[in-house]
Amino acid sequence: MSQTEPPERAEAAPAEDRRRPDGPAIKVENVYKVFGRRGKDAVRRLKDGDSRDQVSSLGVAAVIDAAFQVEQGEIFVVMGLSGSGKSTLIRMLNGLNDSTDGQVTVFGSNVVGQQKTELRRIRREHLSMVFQHFALLPHRTVIDNVAYGLEIQGVSKTERLERAAHWINKVGLGGWENHFPDELSGGMKQRVGLARAFAADTDILLMDEAFSALDPLIRREMQEQLKDLQQELGKTIVFITHDLNEAMFLGDRIAVMRDGKIVQVGTPNDILTDPANDYVAQFVQDVDRARVLSAADVMERPQAVVAANAGPRAALRTMRDLQTSASFVTSRDRKLLGVVFAADVLRLVRKGADTLEGALHPTPAFVAEDQLIVNVLEMAVDSPLPVAVVDAEERLVGVVPRVTLLAALASTTPETDQVDIIVPPDPVSTADINAALEATADSGEVSR
């Protein structure tokens, strides 16, 4: 019966006709939501500066003066404890909850106070949703669940089943098409939920605590899958969670909510390193920083660096001045070539060699800028040298000494004037170096 449902053609627009205007995907301006019959009165008093508790006789203020924009193609996370109003807020974005006051626009279309027909159009074309407890239709098979959004959009049966099958494979549930939701595990159910949302082919995904009901391993796996899919498809995602680690992992930007108010909006790094108030600071102190901060966030300016074409004498002098026994070597365009150790360079200088080539070792540890420091940690354990940080062109952009790593994990500000190479027991004394430099000094070079 459900398959022969007449499509709601009059309201449905084919996908290719959809024009995605420039500008933010979602714009939220000073919205309020007060549950209760006297919501408008409560909003008026909240605007006059009354607190949430002071207006409690008029209604429950779930969202107070929220304002933010979600840009196209970003993952915007709203994070807060239960009762902070985040679930109410996400339902105001697609009009499942009407806003008591303020403006919500989705790709330029107004949502607040919108007519039902228009609201349904906005939901069909722009917003799909993933729910905390999956909200699959228990009387429908996996494939019919995934095709549900397309069915509402009026897509023909053959096409919607084809597209649904594609998404089922994409989330790794190939072969389960004709099973019913109660035959699946929690993680698999949420994959169906995810496939249903992606299959609807909307620009925006609203995810309400989508992974909170899953156990930790599955949750991590789903987070990674979501990130991959988002990168591949460039969807705009609004993700609600109470789990700060999840927020930090997924979010391009994070809004922290407390008691109905948004207390801070910023990148994960902003929130972590520059919390807006004590509440946020307290909240973030439990965060697993190693999984949030990237090498680029903590790295320092490399000091012990010599240019390959400068020769052994210049290298030796640099190391002596910095009191280090090793140095990174870069090419003329700052590409990281390797490392040299003072003892080897000293030998070269004594031999009178004029390139560093004979002493060059491969860099023991280097990472890309966007690597999380949890990955840097492992390398730092094994490497005698600070971990080098390189950009996409393999240019040396910074270094992460162990001290810096520890400081980052402990959330204290590291002493930045620290020499960035920690001196291992030094086999080469300064006196030896000076002697060698003097002995081989020629007219152009005078040791200091």
Partner 1 sequence: MDMDWMRLPIGEWAEVVVDWMTTYLDGLFSVLRSIFDGMNEGLVWVFMTPPFWVIILAIAVISFFAKGWKLAVGTIIGLLVIVSVDQWENAMNSLSLVLVATIIALVIAIPLGILASKSDIASRIIRPVLDFMQTMPAFVYLIPAIVIFRVGVVPGIVATIIFAMAPAVRLTELGIRGVDKEVVEAGYAFGSKSGRILRQIQLPLAMPSIMAGINQVIMLALSMVVIAGMAGAGGLGQDVYSAVQRIDIKLGAESGLAVVIIAMILDRITGGFGNRKRKATGPRKVAAADSTETTASVPAKTA
The residues binding partner 1 (CB under 8 A) are: 2, 5, 8, 94, 96, 120-124, 127-129, 131-139, 141, 143-144, 148-149, 152-153, 172-180, 187-188, 200, 206, 217-218, 220-221
Least distance in Å: CB of 101 to partner 1? 22
Calculate the CA 298 to chain-centre distance: 16
Give the CB-side neighbour count of residue 134, counting CA atoms within 13 A: 20
Which CB, 188 or 349, lies closer to partner 1?
188
Burial class (CB in 10 A: 0-12, 13-18, 19+), 369: middle
Residue 433's alpha-carbon distances to 303, 343, 405, in angstroms, are 19, 9, 31
Closest separation in Å from C-beta 335 to partner 1: 36
Write phi, then psi, for 396 (nearest 5 degrees).
-75, 115
Which of 146, 271 has the CB closer to partner 1? 146
Q: Which two tokens stand for residue 55?
A: 């207006």
Which is nearer to partner 1, 232 or 415 (by Cβ)?
A: 232
CA distance 101 to 188: 39
Between 123 and 313, CB nearer to partner 1 = 123
Q: What does residue 82 show for φ and ψ, rounded to 5 degrees?
A: -65, 140
Q: Give the closest residue to 33 by CA, choosing from 76, 64, 68, 67.
A: 64
- To partner 1, the closest distance from the beta carbon of 60 in angstroms equals 18
Q: Name the minimum Å distance from CB 130 to partner 1.
A: 9
Closer by beta carbon to partner 1, 127 or else 240 = 127
Contact 25, 107 (CB under 8 A): yes
Please report the beta strands in 352-442, taking only residues with DSSP state E, as ranges in sequence order.
366-368, 387-390, 396-400
Nearer to partner 1, 35 or 176 (CB): 176
CB of 188 to partner 1, least distance (A): 7
Helix axes 342-351, 311-322, angle to 10 degrees: 140
Q: Tokens 């070079």 appear where?
A: 445
Q: Which residues of 344-358 are buried (b: 16+ CB within 10 A; e: fewer)?
A: bbbbbbeeebeebee
Least Å distance, CB 208 to partner 1, is: 9
- Please state the closest distance from residue 361 (CB atom) to partner 1, in A: 35
| Residue 425: DSSP 8-state | S
Instruction: Pick the closer one to partner 1 by CB: 123 or 170.
Output: 123
Quote the least distance from Cβ 104 to partner 1, whole Å: 15
Task: State the Cα torsion 190-195-196-200 to the nearest 10°.
Answer: 150
User: Counting Cβ atoms within 10 Å, is residue 66 exposed (0-12), middle (13-18) or buried (19+)?
Assistant: buried
Parallel, antiparallel or unpaired: strands 253-258 and 261-266: antiparallel
Using CB atoms within 10 A of its CB, is residue 379 exposed (0-12), middle (13-18) or buried (19+)?
Answer: buried
Least CB distance to partner 1 at residue 190 (A): 12
Nearer to partner 1, 8 or 432 (CB): 8
Alpha carbon distance 246, 248 (integer Å): 5
Nearer to partner 1, 153 or 404 (CB): 153
Beta carbon of residue 156, minimum distance to partner 1 (angstroms, whole number): 17
Using CA atoms, how far residue 408 sits from 273, 287, 288, 376, 377, in Å, is: 10, 12, 11, 12, 11
3 state SS of 131 = coil
Q: Cβ closer to partner 1: 28 or 184? A: 184
- Which residue, 92 or 428, has its beta carbon nearer to partner 1? 92
Considering the complex, what minimum distance in angstroms separates the CB of residue 18 from partner 1? 14
